[in-house]
Amino acid sequence: MQKETVLNGDAVLCDAGNRMLDTKGLSEREILEVVQRGNREAYQEIVVRYMQSAYYVALAFVHNQQDALDISQDAFIRAFRRIKKFDTEKPFFPWFYKILKNLCMDYFKRRQRRNEVPLENVPVLKTEQEDREMKKALWKGIDELPPEQKEIIILRYFRQLSYQEMAEISGKPIGTIMSSLYYAKKRLKGIVGKYLGFE
């Protein structure tokens, strides 16, 4: 028996092996058009495709594994409730990302101080070359950045988006994105250096 992905009220449960709807050969746009016609099973395929990315983006913002899971699932629920307003001519993730980011910002408003996950257990970047001290300094540095600079670092190095994708998500020109990233990296380097005693 196939395992089911469930979208029911306040919960989204995902299983990568779920194929309740035969989506082979369908583009993302075609799947989303089916979703807009009321097919929940089709939306489950979108959840399966983007759940991991959503989780890691949320984790980069909130640093707490359970909260990141809750926020990413809540973002999928909210996106489903608004799906009929989504323009299927555009890619899904940039639209979804704005919902996810707003939930992360709400998290910070509700909790001025959060519980940290031990950083040695969290993959900061895809490569595992940073030692524990560097990871700790990097997290502290990212937390000290202004919100816009923090976001651009997360999009580029945690989500690994291209400049074009970052421009689409933020609604800013590519030149502005490149300039913002340059200054964010420069500032982050100084902050991390301070924590590591390189100043």
Helix boundaries (H) for 111-162? 132-144, 147-153
pLDDT score for 113: 46
> Under CATH, what is the fold of the domain 119-199?
Arc Repressor Mutant, subunit A (1.10.10)
Whether 75 and 96 have beta carbons less than 8 Å apart is answered as: yes
Angle between helices 92-110 and 163-170 (to 10 degrees): 60
Domain boundaries, the chain: 1-117, 119-199
* H or E segment and range at residue 13: strand 11-13
pLDDT average per 10 residues of sequence, the chain (199 residues)? 39 40 75 90 90 88 86 93 92 92 82 45 47 73 83 81 82 85 86 66
DSSP assignment of 36-56 equals HTT-HHHHHHHHHHHHHHHHH
> Under CATH, what is the fold of the domain 1-117?
Rna Polymerase Sigma Factor; Chain: A (1.10.1740)
pLDDT score for 198: 54
Distances (CA, A) of 101 to 5, 74, 95, 152: 24, 11, 10, 12
3-state secondary structure of 7: strand
State both tokens at 33. 């058009």
